[in-house]
Chain A
Amino acid sequence: QVQLQESGPGLVKPSQTLSLTCSVSGGSIVTDSYYWSWIRQPAGQGLEWIGRVFSSGSTNYNPSLKSRLSISVDTSKNQFSLRLNSVTAADTAIYYCARSARTVVGATFPWGQGILVTVSS
């Protein structure tokens, strides 16, 4: 079955760029049936949807992050990526990647295990 795995630095300095990659295994990222999402969760808090990318490359972003955010897909590597620039301590969180069904509402699964990213000097 499809599995997702986040990777990237666990520590980023303030004002720098947070870059994460999600590797998809067990299935192709090139599909019209799903899109690929990033979600984050500060310690002890709730979940925040960051944005999503389709295998075509089109994206939707959370307006609260849009000015700092870029999500892209690399079909040759079966990966998608997140870049968030000008980070602050408020961006410290566990970042999850996940797959969402396009034609089945409310169905986001599976999720990656998550990666903790700390913004600190």
Chain B
Amino acid sequence: AIQMTQSPSSLSASVGDRVTITCRASQGIRNDLGWYQQKPGEAPKLLIFAASTLHTGVPSRFSGGGSGTDFTLTISSLQPEDFATYYCLQDYDYPLTFGQGTRLDIK
């Protein structure tokens, strides 16, 4: 199975900060990657697909990049509603695999 290594596992930041989360695949996965946001008690929500395409309705402060094995999720200016846990998911090959998650909380 393809392993997705996400870092950092947790991150403290302030409103207005720029933050970047990374996801590294154990083998090349082209751009077959999505980023998801999960808030406590809720199901995950799609933010970005195909590594860099913003899902409908997602604010433009979110952006994704990368291809092959290294990927990033950047939030350009943190808003209060962005404090959540973020996951990457590869669907290049099955079993699909998630990163272990990055918990983003308020400093």
Residues of B within 8 A of A101 (CB): 49
Given A46-B98, A46-B100, A62-B95 in contact, is the A104-B49 Cβ separation under 8 Å?
A: yes
Report A90-113 residues with CB < 8 Å from chain B CB. 96, 100-101, 104-109, 111-113
Beta-carbon contact of A109 and B55 below 8 Å: yes
Q: In the complex, what distance in Å separates the CA atom of A96 from the CA atom of B55?
A: 20
Instruction: Tell whether A11 is near chain B: CB-to-CB under 8 Å.
Output: no
Q: With a CB–CB cut-off of 8 A, which chain B residues contact A48?
A: 98
Pairwise interchain contact B43-A111, C-beta atoms closer than 8 A: yes
Whether B43 lies near A112 (C-beta < 8 A) is yes
Nearest to A37 among chain B residues (CB) is B96
Number of interface residues of A (CB under 8 A): 24
Query: Is the CB of B78 closer than 8 A to any CB of chain A?
Result: no
Q: Give bound CA distance, A49 to B45, whole Å.
A: 15
Q: B43 to A96, Cβ gap below 8 A?
A: yes
Q: For A114, what are the chain B residues with a Cβ–Cβ distance below 8 Å?
A: 43
A–B Cβ pairs within 8 angstroms, 9 of them: A46-B101, A47-B87, A96-B43, A105-B31, A105-B33, A105-B51, A105-B91, A106-B50, A107-B46
